[in-house]
């Protein structure tokens, strides 16, 4: 079952169970996917996006909600922060398990070997290998500095 099919099934189940908050989050996910498809259509590319693209969208959604929750907490709006965190829980159901610290280090080491990276100039090649294999399983913003350290 593709990720898109899983999302559609979850949305139908949420409708039947009258889970309003969950349904709202699933609709937001579908809207983000449709927006991306429309943008691709405008660029002349295929109109249907793949599972890795959907995982990237979900990853961005989690990151946005974490930032929003933090801002709401700092502003004393705890009910809004709780809503953002509840949305993260729903989105995370569709993301693969996040890699642990040791697993990320092993993945970086393997990607460096696969890309035959020798210096910081090869960092883009290493990131491309990692994004191809581990989209949605690691935070690439946090991985970048680790790659730099390993290539220096």
Which pTM was predicted?
0.75
Give me the number of domains the chain comprises: 2
Do 77 and 146 fall within a single domain? no
Do 23 and 76 fall within a single domain? yes
**DSSP character for 45?**
S
- The CATH number of whichever domain residue 65 belongs to comes to 1.10.1510.10
Do 49 and 112 fall within a single domain? no
Do 50 and 16 fall within a single domain? yes
In angstroms, the Cα distances linking 117 to 22, 24, 103, 109, 144 are: 44, 44, 19, 10, 14
Do 106 and 88 fall within a single domain? no
- The CATH number of whichever domain residue 125 belongs to comes to 1.10.10.410
Per-residue model confidence (pLDDT) at position 65: 94
Identify the domain containing residue 32 by its residue range.
3-92
Do 40 and 83 fall within a single domain? yes
What pLDDT tens digit does each residue of the chain (152 aa) get? Answer: 788 999 999 999 999 999 999 999 999 999 999 998 888 887 766 667 888 888 889 988 998 999 999 999 999 999 999 999 999 999 999 988 888 888 888 999 998 888 888 888 888 898 989 888 887 788 788 888 888 888 87
Residue 141 tokens, joined: 């913003």
Closest listed residue to residue 7, CA positions, set 95, 134, 83 = 95
Per-residue model confidence (pLDDT) at position 96: 83
CB atoms under 10 Å from CB of 108, counted, come to 23
Do 68 and 133 fall within a single domain? no
Per-residue model confidence (pLDDT) at position 141: 81
First-to-last alpha carbon distance for the chain, in angstroms, is 42
Last residue of a domain, one of 72, 92, 112: 92
CB atoms under 10 Å from CB of 1, counted, come to 7
Per-residue model confidence (pLDDT) at position 98: 82
d(CA 106, CA 84): 32
Per-residue model confidence (pLDDT) at position 25: 95
Closest listed residue to residue 138, CA positions, set 54, 55, 51 = 55
**DSSP character for 42?**
H
Do 63 and 107 fall within a single domain? no
d(CA 33, CA 84): 19
Do 81 and 113 fall within a single domain? no
Do 77 and 13 fall within a single domain? yes
Per-residue model confidence (pLDDT) at position 78: 94
Per-residue model confidence (pLDDT) at position 74: 94
Do 61 and 27 fall within a single domain? yes
Per-residue model confidence (pLDDT) at position 120: 86
């Amino acid at each position: 079952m593709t990720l898109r099919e899983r999302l559609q099934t979850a949305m139908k189940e949420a409708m039947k169970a009258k889970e309003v908050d969950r349904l709202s989050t699933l609709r937001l996910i579908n809207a983000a996917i449709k927006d991306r498809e429309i943008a691709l259509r405008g660029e002349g590319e295929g109109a249907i996006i793949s599972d890795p693209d959907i995982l990237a969208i979900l990853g961005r959604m989690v990151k946005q909600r974490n930032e929003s929750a933090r801002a709401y907490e700092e502003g004393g709006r705890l009910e809004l922060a709780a809503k953002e965190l509840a949305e993260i829980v729903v989105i995370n159901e569709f993301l693969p398990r996040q890699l642990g610290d040791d697993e990320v280090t092993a993945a970086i080491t393997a990607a460096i070997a696969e890309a035959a990276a020798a210096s910081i100039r090869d960092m883009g090649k290493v990131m491309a290998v990692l994004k191809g294999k581990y989209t949605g399983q690691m935070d690439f913003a946090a991985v970048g500095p680790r790659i730099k350290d390993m290539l220096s």
